[in-house]
Chains A and B, each alone.
Chain A
């Protein structure tokens, strides 16, 4: 069964460093998302991406964040200068068509020290 994959599973970084979280969405999917979940809290939407551009972003997704689809398979989330409060589980999701089921990856746990 096709699935969304994410790497790395756990990333530890120092405050102020740049991190790139990688996702490989399901191959025929066209809509891509990033969500985050701070430990013990609810899952929060960060950004949606379609046709090589951001379609929506939340207030969390400030200038420190960026997304990119560098090739036909990967979808990345970059945090330019990490803060302690960026520590969270980051989930990538994809869907085949607009307003269809979103399939979530297993997540990347980001720890900022």
Chain B
């Protein structure tokens, strides 16, 4: 019940296209859903995050869509660029007594020219 399932495992998108990564969770106590971007040899860096009181959050080319009833959330990268090539992790956190982030399995995104 603590898992966060992420798909796809890898994704190849053409430059200028839309990259979509999906995550699903079971634990209804999760109330904070961040997306992290990780480049090789670096630590995860927060990209964008959402709380379940809104269905969508947009920051520049990055949008999180959140479906509370389906317990799913997704990251959309518009106008994908080669510099977006990285591994993306969704995560979730509960506010009941702990602060640990539970990460998805990651998606390796490659943007091709």
Which of A's residues lie within 8 Å of B, judged by CB? 4, 31, 33, 35, 41-45, 48, 55-56, 58, 91, 93, 95, 98-99, 101-107
Contacts and interface: CB of A to CB of B under 8 A. Distances in A.
Interface stretch (B12-20, B70-78, B98-106): B98-106
Contacts of A98: 99
B112 interface: no
Interface in B18-76: 32, 34, 36, 41-46, 49
A42 B101 contact: no
A93 B34 CA distance: 15
Contact of A104 (B43, B97, B105, B106): B43
Contacts of B99: 31, 33, 48, 55-56, 95, 98-99, 102
Contacts of A33: 99-100
B98 A55 contact: yes
B103 A101 contact: no
- Please indicate which of the listed interface residues B44, B46, B102 has the most CB atoms of chain A within 10 Å of its own CB: B44
A56 B34 CA distance: 20
5 contacts: A43-B91, A43-B103, A99-B95, A104-B43, A107-B41
A4 B46 CA distance: 13
A85 to B, nearest CB: 19
Contact of B49 (A35, A42, A101, A104): A101
B43 A105 contact: yes
